[in-house]
Amino acid sequence: MTTLFAKKAYRVVKNIPKGKVSTYQAVARAIHKPRASRAVGHALKCNPYAPQVPCHRVIRSDGTVGGYARGAKKKIEFLKQEGIIVIGKKIDLHVFGWRV
């Protein structure tokens, strides 16, 4: 069962365009739960709608890749396929960041 909170997070994440990333914190703010970035991460870990909800496009606020249900290596692979440059598990948010 998908919670209302998770559904709201999925709606935001679904709008992140290919070749861009957002952060768990930005998604939490977009659904009016600014202190719920860890809950966003948990919701995305349980995402039953991949790839329509591209949870691999959500990263940590410091630019590091963060977790992924299929492993960080797979997350980096998907991001690189979309043209995102990942250097040492880190992404430049000034270049690839997307405002929710």
4: pLDDT strictly greater than 90: yes
Active-site hit among 26, 44, 55, 86: 55
**Region 8-30: what's the mean pLDDT?**
98
Cα distances from 1 to residues 5, 19, 47, 68, 87, in angstroms, run: 12, 30, 11, 20, 37
CATH (domain of 26): 1.10.10.10
**pLDDT tens digits, one per residue of 84-96:** 999 999 999 999 9
**The domain containing residue 10 runs over which residues?**
4-96
Count up the domains in the chain and report the number.
1
Annotated active-site residue 46? The verdict is no
Q: How far apart are CA 41 and CA 43, in angstroms?
A: 5
pLDDT at residue 100 in the model: 83
Report yes or no on whether pTM surpasses 0.85: yes
